[in-house]
Amino acid sequence: MVVEAKTRINLREISNKEDKLAPGHRLCLGCAEGIVVRQVLHAIDYPVVVCSPTGCLEICTGLFPYTAWRVPWVHSAFENAASTIAGVEAAYRALKRRGKIEDRVIKFVVFAGDGATYDIGLQWLSGALERGHTFLYICLNNEAYMNTGIQRSSATLKWTWTTTTPVGKVIPGKKESRKDMTAIIAAHNIPYVAQAAPHAWRDLMTKVRKAIAVDGPSFINILCPCVRGWRYNSKDTIAISKLAADTCVWPLYEVDHGIWRLNYKPSPQRPLTDWFLSQGRFSHLVAPDNANLVIELQQCIDQEWAKLEKLCQCFAD
Amino acid sequence: MSGNRLKGELKALEGDNAVAEAMRQINPDVVAAYPITPQTEIVMTFSEFVANGLVDTEFLAVESEHAALSACIGAALAGARALTATCGPGLALMWEMLWIASSWRLPIIMNVVNRAFSSPLNILCSHDDAMGSRDAGWIQLYAESQQEAYDNTLQAVRIAEHPDILLPVMCCLDGFVLGHTLEPVEVLPDEVVKEWAGTYNPCYSLLDIDHPVTYGAADFTDYYFEHKRPQWEAMERAPKVILDIGEEFGKVTGRYYHLVDSYRLDDADVAVVVLGATSGAVRVAVDRLRKNGIKAGMLKLRCFRPFPAQQVVQALQGKKAVAILERVAFFGAEASPVFLEVATAFYLRGVSTKLINYTYGLGGRDTVPGQICGVFQDLIDITQTGKTEPIFRYLGLRDF
C-alpha cells in the first residue's frame, strides 16, 4: 500500500520552526551533519525520539553536562542503534496498547554514521529492518570513520586516502571498492529507501516526508561532506555535495515500495577529475603517475550509474 | 527455602519451562531474545505463549544476543518492563551491553542458563559465563532447583525495580542440570503473580515527549567517576532489599528466601561453600557424613552479587576448615571468584579459618555426592594435620 505523504516542502513554514538540534553543538565549522540533521527533523511534523550510535554527531551533541537535543535522545553503543530504537519502538507499541502512555503518534529516527551503518552495525540494522519496526534510519555518510580520525570504512571510495589507507610508496590509498549499502538495504524489501545529499534540500526533505509516512522501516543514505576528512575549505560543503551528484559519485534516487526512481540526472555529467580536484584526500590521484587509477574509477562510476539508470528505466511508465 | 502448605499448583517442569512460566505470569511489556542451547526452551515456550495469546508482550525474536539486550535496554529506557534470557556464548556477546544496562540503572531481568565457553565447543554447564560478568553491575542470584529458578525470576522483578535499587538482575540456573530436567514446581496462581509483580513505573522515559531526556551523553575526566558512584551505592543497598523481598515472598508462598542458606551448618566442624544446582549433591553428602557422626555442613550462596560478606562470615566463622567449590575455569588467579570473596571477607574481619578451593564439573561433568564426601574427608584431614596445601584442587578431573 502506498501511503500518500504530505510531501510539499514550504520554506517559510520550515523557517519558523524551532530547531530540534540546538545551536551551540560542537560539530566542525562546515560539517554537513548538523545541516542534514536539521533538514531531516524540520521535515518531520510529529514528536520524535532520536537515537544515535557512537560517532561524530553523538560526541558533538551530547557531552555531559550539556545536550544539544531538544527531543528525547539516546546514544547506547556503536553497533546497536537499530536494535536500541527497535526496543524503544516495541515499548511504544506495548505501552500504548496497554494504556500506560497517551495514545499519540511518535516517530523514531536514527542518525548513524557510515561506520556504524556499513560496517559494525550492519547485522543489527538488517535484523531490525527484517523484523519490520517502524523507524527511519538516516545514514550520515561521510565515507570514513571521521570521529576517530579519518579511517577507512566500507563506504570509502577506492583509491581514497585515509589514515588507515595512507598513500604510500607501494599502495596508493584504499585498495577495495565501496559497498553498495543502499542496494543492500533495498534488498530487504522495506517500504522506502533513498539516497540524498544536503545541497538538494528539497529533494532530501521530500524523501524524509515519504519515509516517515510509511508503516515499517525506512532508510535514507545521505552524503555528508566532511571538511576535516575530505580536506576542503569549510565554505564549500554544499558545493562539494552538488559536485558529488553532478559527477554521479552520489546518485540521488529512491526505492519507493519497490519502485526504483532516479531523482536527478546531471546534464552534463561532470568528469571524476573535478571530484578529485576538489578534495585533498584525492590529491595523489591528480598526479600524472596515477592517471590509470582515475580511468579505472571513472569506468567504475560510469558502470554503476548505467546500472542504476537501467534499473530505474525498468520501473518507468 | 522452607515450604509448608501449597499455595499454587504442582507442575512437572524443566527449569527452562519454569522460567518461561514465570515470564508468562509476569507478562512483561517487552521480551527480546535469541535462542541458544540450553536456554532455547525458554524462548520457544515463551513464543508459544505469544502465539496463543496467553501474553500480550511485544516479543522480539532478534538476530543476536547483543541485539536482544540492546533492544531490552531501548525498551526499558522507554519505560517498559523488559526481560530476556541467554547463556554462555550469548552472554559473552552481550558483554558491552551488560555494563550499559547497569550504568543506566535499568531493571532488566535476564535468566542465564549457565553454559561453558568454547573452546572446545561445549553446550553444558559451567559458571564461567555469569562469573565472568560478575563485575558488570548486575545483581546475581543462583538457583538450586527448578522451583528456585521460578521463584527467583518472580522476586527479581521486584528487586530490580525497587526504587532503592534500580539495577538489572541476572537469575542463574545450571544448564541442563536444572534447565532440561523435570522436577515438581509449585506454580502460583496467575492473579497472585500479577499482584506480586505489579507494574513498572519508571522515573524517566524516552517516550515522555513533553519532558525530553538525553541518555548516553559522553563523560570524561570531569564526571565519569562521579557517575559510577551511585552504582556502588545501589549495590550496597541491595542486600536489605533482597532480604525484604525474600521475606515478603515467603509470606505469599511459604518459601522464604535469603542471601545465603545454611544446611546443618550451625554445629558443623567442616563446611562446603557452593552455589547453584550442585548444592543438592552437597546436601546428600552432608546427610551421609552426619549418619557416620561427622559434623559436616553446607553454605549455599543464593546471592553472589552483591556478595553477602557479613552473612558468609557469620555462617562460617569458627569452622575448622572450609572448602569453596566452584564450577568455573579461572586462569592466572590464585583461587576462584567465590574463594577470593570469602577469603577477603574473612581477612577483613580477622577470621582465619582454613580454606581450600576446588574447581569441579566443568563442561557439564557430573559431580556426585561421593565426590563431595571426598572433599569433606580432605577437610577432616586438614583439621588433623593443619596443612592446607595445595589450596587449589581439581574435583573429578581425570589424569590421562
Query: A108: closest CA among A79, A139, A82, A70?
Result: A82
Q: Which residue has the cell 571538511?
A: A227
Instruction: Write down the pLDDT at residue A157.
Output: 98
Instruction: Write down the pLDDT at residue B4.
Output: 54
pLDDT digits (tens, 9 = 90+) for B268-310: 999 999 999 999 999 999 999 999 999 999 999 999 999 999 9
Comparing alpha-carbon positions, the chain A residue that sits nearest to B77 is: A88
d(CA A296, CA A273): 12
Query: A139: closest CA among A107, A110, A177, A108?
Result: A110
Residue B20 Cα, gap to closest chain A Cα (Å): 19
DSSP B90: H
Q: What percent of chain B has pLDDT over 90?
A: 98
Q: How confident is the model at residue A182 (pLDDT cuts 50, 70, 90)?
A: very high
Maximal CA-CA distance, chain A = 68
d(CA A90, CA B189): 28
Cβ-Cβ contacts under 8 Å, B26 against chain A: none
Q: Does the beta-carbon distance from B218 to A62 stay under 8 Å?
A: yes
Element (H, E) at B114: strand B109-114
Q: Does the beta-carbon distance from A76 to B216 stay under 8 Å?
A: yes
Mean pLDDT of the A183-196 span: 98
Q: Does the beta-carbon distance from B218 to A98 stay under 8 Å?
A: no
**Cβ pairs A/B, distance under 8 A:** 173
Count of CB atoms situated within 10 Å of the CB of A314: 9
Decide if the complex's ipTM is over 0.85. yes
Query: Does residue A69 surpass a pLDDT of 60?
Result: yes
Comparing alpha-carbon positions, the chain B residue that sits nearest to A71 is: B212
Do the strands B169-174 and B139-142 form a parallel or antiparallel pair, or are they unpaired? parallel
Backbone φ and ψ for B395, nearest 5 degrees, come out as: -120, 120
Angle at A206 between CA A80 and CA A212, to 5 degrees: 40
Residue B214 is nearest to which of A69, A97, A98, comparing CB atoms?
A69
What does the block give as the cell for B302?
A: 543464593
The answer to whether the bond into B107 is cis (omega within 30° of 0) is no
Query: Does residue A174 surpass a pLDDT of 90?
Result: yes
Q: How confident is the model at residue A6 (pLDDT cuts 50, 70, 90)?
A: low
For chain A, domain boundaries: 11-315
pLDDT digits (tens, 9 = 90+) for A268-301: 999 999 999 999 999 999 999 999 999 999 999 9
pLDDT digits (tens, 9 = 90+) for B139-179: 999 999 999 999 999 999 999 999 999 999 999 999 999 99
Q: Does the beta-carbon distance from A83 to B207 stay under 8 Å?
A: no
φ/ψ region of A316 (left if φ > 0, alpha if ψ in -120 to 50, else beta) reads beta
Q: How confident is the model at residue B5 (pLDDT cuts 50, 70, 90)?
A: low
Backbone φ and ψ for A138, nearest 5 degrees, come out as: -105, 125
Cβ-Cβ contacts under 8 Å, B71 against chain A: 83-84, 86-87, 90
Residue B234 Cα, gap to closest chain A Cα (Å): 21
For chain B, domain boundaries: 9-253, 262-395
- CA end-to-end span of chain B: 41
Cβ-Cβ contacts under 8 Å, A64 against chain B: 217-219, 223, 227
Helix (H, G, I), strand (E, B) or coil at A143: coil
DSSP A271: P
pLDDT digits (tens, 9 = 90+) for B46-87: 999 999 999 999 999 999 999 999 999 999 999 999 999 999
Backbone φ and ψ for B112, nearest 5 degrees, come out as: -115, 115
What does the block give as the cell for B82?
A: 523488559
Burial class (CB in 10 A: 0-12, 13-18, 19+), B4: exposed
Q: How confident is the model at residue B1 (pLDDT cuts 50, 70, 90)?
A: very low
Residue B339 Cα, gap to closest chain A Cα (Å): 34
Comparing alpha-carbon positions, the chain A residue that sits nearest to B218 is: A63
pLDDT digits (tens, 9 = 90+) for B173-185: 999 999 999 999 9
Query: Does residue B29 surpass a pLDDT of 70?
Result: yes
The answer to whether the bond into A266 is cis (omega within 30° of 0) is no
Residue A270 CA, distance from chain mean position: 22
Instruction: Write down the pLDDT at residue A3.
Output: 46
Count of CB atoms situated within 10 Å of the CB of A93: 15
- With contact defined as beta carbons under 8 Å apart, do B38 and B177 qualify? no
pLDDT digits (tens, 9 = 90+) for B351-376: 999 999 999 999 999 999 999 999 99
Cβ-Cβ contacts under 8 Å, B75 against chain A: 87-88, 90-91, 94
Q: Does the beta-carbon distance from B74 to A67 stay under 8 Å?
A: no
Please report, as a single letter, which amino acid is at residue B272: V
Instruction: Write down the pLDDT at residue A293.
Output: 97
Cβ-Cβ contacts under 8 Å, A111 against chain B: none
Name the packing angle between helices B15-26 and B146-161 (round to 10°). Answer: 30
Residues A257/A109/B73/B209 CA torsion (nearest 10 deg): -130
Instruction: Write down the pLDDT at residue A1.
Output: 42
Mean pLDDT of the B88-93 span: 98
Comparing alpha-carbon positions, the chain A residue that sits nearest to B29 is: A94
Comparing alpha-carbon positions, the chain B residue that sits nearest to A121 is: B67
Domain range A11-315, CATH architecture? 3-Layer(aba) Sandwich (3.40)
Cβ-Cβ contacts under 8 Å, B82 against chain A: 87, 91
Instruction: Write down the pLDDT at residue A8.
Output: 80
Query: Does residue A10 surpass a pLDDT of 90?
Result: no
In CATH terms, the fold of domain B9-253 is Rossmann fold (3.40.50)
Q: How confident is the model at residue A2 (pLDDT cuts 50, 70, 90)?
A: very low
pLDDT digits (tens, 9 = 90+) for B219-278: 999 999 999 999 999 999 999 999 999 999 999 999 999 999 999 999 999 999 999 999
pLDDT digits (tens, 9 = 90+) for A76-116: 999 999 999 999 999 999 999 999 999 999 999 999 999 99
Count of CB atoms situated within 10 Å of the CB of A313: 10
Q: Does the beta-carbon distance from A63 to B70 stay under 8 Å?
A: no
Instruction: Write down the pLDDT at residue A5.
Output: 55
pLDDT digits (tens, 9 = 90+) for A113-150: 999 999 999 999 999 999 999 999 999 999 999 999 99
Instruction: Write down the pLDDT at residue A83.
Output: 98
What CATH number was assigned to the domain covering residues B262-395? 3.40.50.920
Query: Does residue B2 surpass a pLDDT of 90?
Result: no
Cβ-Cβ contacts under 8 Å, B32 against chain A: 83, 86-87, 90
Q: Does the beta-carbon distance from A106 to B209 stay under 8 Å?
A: yes
d(CA A103, CA A88): 15
